[in-house]
């Protein structure tokens, strides 16, 4: 898979809402924050549209804006304003041939996991699990989140992933190999679980799997994670990276966390598993290049490390 071209100063960024809408006030704020960083902006016209109360227009409209932004020669990068719900409704309307022919930066997470998986697997594009215009940039684009974002988009050489200051990457399981490599895939746990059995089901064979979640009780995190285990997805992985599990507590026993639950759920898997990687719905949020070659290094179990290979643009 190929990285898109780097994000140059003065580039044009297309803003889209492939899932849920934002308010007119937030729309103006998204434009302002992107322009303040020195970029031109093209706005989809459905950002504030409400269909059914929770969708930014009908599925054909939302998909058409994804297609249009990829087709537009003036647009250098596509940035989602927010996640939300129902990106699954737009997948069948994406013009995958058009997207393959016009590779460019694409950034989003949460419900945008659906699009990241399709663009990775069916279009051969590296996309970015990174901050979105409304969800992250408009009010709280902190320095560490910003640095990680631009570094991932514009990297020229192989690099080591860095957590924010004060957050240590930790080892959950070692496996029999101290170093494993594979293409990075994954995203939001609920979306990964829901894709199984559909034409958009994600492939984990020999890949590094990244998982994050928000606002789910530990019991629900476990249910979705066991869906991955029972479907064979976890056993096929080369390794697993557990990101932020934001507002995911155990209402029945606070001492038994989602990490404890996932440790139980991964018993018998002979693969390295690391956790506390600060990417997901929390703050700061580090950017991950989905579709890139990733290495987990457990040479020192107490200090696990992650690397990404030199981008092929």
Identify the CATH number of the domain in which residue 188 sits. 3.50.30.60
Looking at the structure, tell me whether residues 302 and 182 fall in a common domain: yes
Q: Within this chain, do residues 16 and 137 fall inside the same structural domain, yes or no?
A: yes
Write down the pLDDT at residue 258. 93
Among candidate residues 27, 144, 212, 293, the one labeled active-site is 212
The closest alpha carbon to 180, from 44, 306, 41, belongs to 306
Residue of 20, 59, 213, 281 marked catalytic = 281
Domain membership of residue 272 as a residue range: 159-308
Among residues 19, 87, 88, 110, the one annotated as catalytic is: 110
Residue 7 lies in a domain: no
Question: Is residue 234 within 8 Å of 193, Cβ to Cβ?
Answer: no
Q: Could you tell me if 135 and 174 lie in one domain?
A: no
Q: How many structural domains comprise the chain?
A: 2
Give yes or no for a contact between 213 and 189, defined as CB atoms under 8 angstroms apart. Answer: yes
177 and 304 belong to one structural domain: yes
Pairing of strands 40-43, 12-16: parallel
In-domain check, residue 150: no
Per-residue pLDDT at 14: 98
**Residue 294 included in any domain:** yes
Per-residue pLDDT of the chain (313 residues; tens, 9 = 90+): 889 999 999 999 999 999 999 999 999 999 999 999 999 999 999 999 999 999 999 999 999 999 999 999 999 999 999 999 999 999 999 999 999 999 999 999 999 999 999 999 999 999 999 999 999 999 889 999 999 999 999 999 999 999 999 999 999 999 999 999 999 999 999 999 999 999 999 999 999 999 999 999 999 999 999 999 999 999 999 999 999 999 999 999 999 999 999 999 999 999 999 999 999 999 999 999 999 999 999 999 899 999 999 999 8
* Residue 110 designated active-site: yes
């Amino acid at each position: 898979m190929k990285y898109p071209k780097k994000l140059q100063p003065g580039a044009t960024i297309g803003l889209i809402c492939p899932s849920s809408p934002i308010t007119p006030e937030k729309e103006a704020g998204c434009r302002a924050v992107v322009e303040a960083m020195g970029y031109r902006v093209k706005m989809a016209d459905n950002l504030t549209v409400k269909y059914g109360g929770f969708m930014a227009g009908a599925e054909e409209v939302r998909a058409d804006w994804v297609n249009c932004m990829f087709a537009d020669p003036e647009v250098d990068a596509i940035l989602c304003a927010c996640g939300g719900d129902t990106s699954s409704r737009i997948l069948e309307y994406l013009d995958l041939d058009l997207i393959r022919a016009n590779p460019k930066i694409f950034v989003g997470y949460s419900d945008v996991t659906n699009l990241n998986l399709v663009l990775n697997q069916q279009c051969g594009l590296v996309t970015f699990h990174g901050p979105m215009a409304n969800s992250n940039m408009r009010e709280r684009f902190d320095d560490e989140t910003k640095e990680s974002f631009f570094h991932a988009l514009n990297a020229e050489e192989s690099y080591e992933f860095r957590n924010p200051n004060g957050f240590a990457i930790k080892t959950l399981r070692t496996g029999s190999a101290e170093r494993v490599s594979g293409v990075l895939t994954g995203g939001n746990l609920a979306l990964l679980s829901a894709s199984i059995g559909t034409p958009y089901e994600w492939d984990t064979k020999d890949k590094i799997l990244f998982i994050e979640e928000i606002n789910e009780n530990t019991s629900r995190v476990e249910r979705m994670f066991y869906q991955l285990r029972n479907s064979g997805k976890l056993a096929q992985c080369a390794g697993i990276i557990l990101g932020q599990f934001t507002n995911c507590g155990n209402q029945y026993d606070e001492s038994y966390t989602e990490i404890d639950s996932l440790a139980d759920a991964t018993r018998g898997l002979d693969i390295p598993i690391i956790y506390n990687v600060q990417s997901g719905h929390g703050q700061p949020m580090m950017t991950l290049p989905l579709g890139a070659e990733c290495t987990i290094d457990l040479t020192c179990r107490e200090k696990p490390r992650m690397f990404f290979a030199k981008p092929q643009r």
